[in-house]
Copies of this chain bind each other. A is one copy, B any other.
Amino acid sequence: MFEATNKIRVRYAETDQMDVVYHGNYAAYFEASRAEAIRDLGLTYKDMEAMGTYMPIIELHCKYLRPAHYDDLLSIKTILKEMPTDHRIQFHHEVYNEAGKLLTIGHVVLYFIDAATKQKTTMPAFLLEKLAPFFETARD
């Protein structure tokens, strides 16, 4: 299992008139947190695109347990439970507030797409190499 945590401060722009974070904004919170998780591995999603692999979102699932509020400093976990074996990769996300309360859970499915052919491909070798150590001793 690979896991990383990213902090995001809620902006006024992201609230709605129900005084909470608008539910659609979690997609961007998850995305920013995945980017930081990949950065923790020593590469960037930006590099991946530059090297010819796009990762469009194919599915998004969110459950909103408790609201997040303006100025909350959220901790957003990005969890990869299984190593991808084909063109799909699934990340789980958990959003916590400063009191440690779990606010939102979600997961996204992304495809690996070859930028040149626009076809599905498998995980690039350089990403697999970075992730492998997290999955060596035991399967989660």
Contact = CB atoms under 8 A, between A and B. Distances in A.
A70 B46 CA distance: 7
Interface in A1-48: 9, 11-20, 22-28, 31-32, 35-36, 44-46
Contact of A56 (B9, B18, B32, B62): B18
A71 interface: yes
What is the oligomeric copy number?
Answer: 4
B17 A13 contact: no
A127 interface: no
A46 B11 CA distance: 11
A8 B58 CA distance: 21
B16 A13 contact: yes
